[in-house]
Chains A and B, each alone.
Chain A
Amino acid sequence: MTEEFEPKIVAFLCKWCSSAGSDLAGVSRMEYPANVIPIQVMCSGSVSPLYIFEAFNRGADGVLVSGCHPGDCHYIKGNMYARRRLLLVKKLLEHLGLEPERFQMSWVSAAEGQKYTQVIKELVKELKPLGPQTKLRRERNG
């Protein structure tokens, strides 16, 4: 009996909005797939492209960066910089031939526990048929 492939998703969640939103989902006992490895960052604008490349290098099947909605950033403009910088990252990864579904961004506020579960559910659904990410992953010794 073959086990179904479960994508490993690394999610960079901004502390003030998205991470709080994921906490709300948990506290409200909302059910959603357990494929996410959450990493709390202070702001989506603080997510360096290196974090994303490193996540893929270490074998992540998908990477999500989630921050506050435009206008709601705790640091006023952080998410605006993220919006620009991470779009460039996305374009670069796609240019190399990585499947576009693997790197995604979302705006999730602290009150949007439901939206967070929705984002994760859709992400897992999109990544399952793609299989494990092998293109950027570092080789492992046997």
Chain B
Amino acid sequence: MDKILAKKDFPRWLGALGAYDVYAPQLIDDVWNYELAAKPKAVSLDYPQTAIPAKKIVFPQREFFFEFREADTDDYKLKELLPEEKPTVIFGVRPCEGKAVTLTDLVFGGEIKDDYYWKRRNAAVLVGLACATPPTTNCFCLSVNGSPHSKEGLDVLMTDLGDQYYVEILTDKGKKLVSEGGAIFHEAKPPDKKAAEKIHADSEKKLARELKNIKDVPAKLKGMFASPFWDDESMSCIRCGICTYLCPTCHCFDINDEVESQTPLAGRRVRTWDTCQFPDFTMHSSGHNPRPDKAARLRQRINHKFQYFVEVWQNYQCTGCGRCITLCPVGIDIIKVVEKVRDHAS
């Protein structure tokens, strides 16, 4: 089921996707981000890593739940604002972000599904791009059960072979997307497959950073809850929120009512991203805050990713994309922190 697509034919595939909202990485003011491709034909996949991960498309920073309006009869009219399932494609999704989406799927799925998330998720086709070389100097996907060519969470995986792409179809959604391109795709031949496999194998050796031997970290963390270790590690944290907002697996949110008019009372209930790194994230209305200081909040972030999520979902809640390391204004490095936990004297 593997195909070959000549790079010069890539714009033709995009041109055939008029029925979809096409997102692709674009460079705006020196920052790469997934944006709606205004000119689908101008998309290029030659890019390192976006600042904001693909989660922003299936789990946008702000979405509406319902609108309310005071009616004449002393009652309220509520109207649910479920997102429409508009077919959406995201190109250039790095394997770490594909894996991250499988993790947020766990959280928003299960017995009680979050309809708002799933309407977008079901309508989204994720076209992955294998990492021939690590997009950043802080990538460490291999250390957290990921890989630069992982297929998890993706519907299609593209590998750059130079002047053509090796296209692996992974799901029915992916099959449909590729069929939109029609005859521009050719059957992949054994030499192509070998070339792709070589790129994949080589890419695993190129990761600059590793987080080794972390099997015992979850148990270690359990015993370090009250340790002064966290005070020292969090001293330079400025509690800005970048690490969590830009993490592909972080998914905490806040719900607010945004009132647009007082008479009649009308507005919308809105969900926005929130972060455990803001001091009031755990503020109780009594004034008590169980995580009153930076030490507690850093501990929370590391524990959630390397202990709690492992206990509940048997997965690290970290896919090794390195954004939190690259973008932290004061250089707090999750790899270093977890290594210190691993080596901490019990």
Residues of chain A in range 101-142 having any CB-CB distance to chain B below 8 Å: 138, 140-141
Q: Chain A: interface secondary structure?
A: loop
Min distance, Cβ B288 to any Cβ of chain A, angstroms: 29
Instruction: For B261, list chain A residues within 8 Å (CB).
Output: 140
Instruction: Mark B235-264 against chain A: 1 for CB-CB distance below 8 A, else 0.
Output: 000000000000000000000000011000
Nearest CB to that of A138 among chain B residues?
B260
How far apart sit A138 and B260, CA to CA, in the bound complex (Å)?
9
Q: Any chain A CB within 8 A of the CB of B294?
A: no
Q: Which residues of A contact B43 (CB under 8 A)?
A: none
- Chain B residues with Cβ under 8 A from A138's Cβ? 260
Q: What is the CA–CA distance of A140 and B267 in the complex, to the nearest angstrom?
A: 9
Q: Mark B102-113, 1 if CB is under 8 A from A, else 0.
A: 000000000000
Q: By the criterion of a CB under 8 Å from any partner CB, how many residues of chain B are at the interface?
A: 6
Q: How far is the CA of A46 from the CA of B67 in the complex (A)?
A: 36
List the A residue with the shortest CB-CB distance to B266.
A141
- What's the minimum C-beta distance from B259 to chain A, rounded to whole angstroms? 10
Complex CA gap A140/B266 in Å reads 10
CA distance A140 to B268 in the complex (A): 10
Whole-angstrom distance from the CB of B79 to the nearest CB of chain A? 10
> In the docked arrangement, what's the CA distance between A138 and B270, Å?
15
By a CB distance below 8 angstroms, the chain B residues around A140 are: 260-261
Q: Nearest Cβ in chain B — how far from A134, in angstroms?
A: 15
Closest Cβ–Cβ distance, residue A55 to chain B (whole Å): 15
Closest Cβ neighbor of B67 among chain A residues: A141
**How far is A35 from B190 in the complex, measured between Cα atoms in Å?**
77
- What is the CB-to-nearest-CB distance from B37 to chain A, in angstroms, rounded to a whole number? 24
A-contact 0/1 string along B263-285, CB 8 Å cutoff: 00011100000000000000000
Closest to A142 in B: B67
Q: Which residues of A contact B267 (CB under 8 A)?
A: 141
A86 vs B189: C-alpha distance in the bound complex, in angstroms?
Answer: 72
Contact with A along B312-344 (1 / 0, CB 8 A): 000000000000000000000000000000000
A138 to B268, CA, bound (A): 13
Q: Distance in Å from the Cβ of B32 to the closest Cβ of chain A? A: 27
Q: Report which residue of B260, B266, B267, B268 has the largest number of chain A beta carbons within 10 angstroms of its beta carbon.
A: B260
B67 partner residues in chain A, CB cutoff 8 A: 141
Question: B260's closest neighbor in chain A, by CB?
Answer: A140
Provide the bound-state CA to CA distance between A140 and B67, in Å. Answer: 12
Q: Which residue of B lies closest to A139 (CB)?
A: B260
| Chain B residue nearest in CB terms to A140 | B260
Kindly identify, within residues 57 to 77 of chain B, every residue whose CB is under 8 Å from any CB belonging to chain A.
Answer: 67
| Closest beta carbon of chain B to A107's beta carbon, Å | 33
Distance (Å) between the CB of A96 and the closest chain B CB? 18
The distance from the CB of B262 to the nearest CB of chain A, in whole angstroms, is 11
**Least Cβ distance of A137 to chain B in Å?**
11
Q: How far is the CB of A44 from chain B (nearest CB, A)?
A: 27
- Show 8 A/B contacts (Cβ-Cβ < 8 Å), sorted by A: A138-B260, A140-B260, A140-B261, A141-B67, A141-B260, A141-B266, A141-B267, A141-B268
The 5 A-B pairs at the shortest CB distance, nearest first, are namely: A140-B260, A141-B260, A141-B268, A141-B67, A141-B266
Interface residues in chain A, defined as those with a beta carbon under 8 Å from any beta carbon in chain B: 138, 140-141
Residues of chain B at the chain A interface (Cβ within 8 Å): 67, 260-261, 266-268
Further pairs besides A140-B260, A141-B260, A141-B268: 5, Cβ < 8 Å: A138-B260, A140-B261, A141-B67, A141-B266, A141-B267
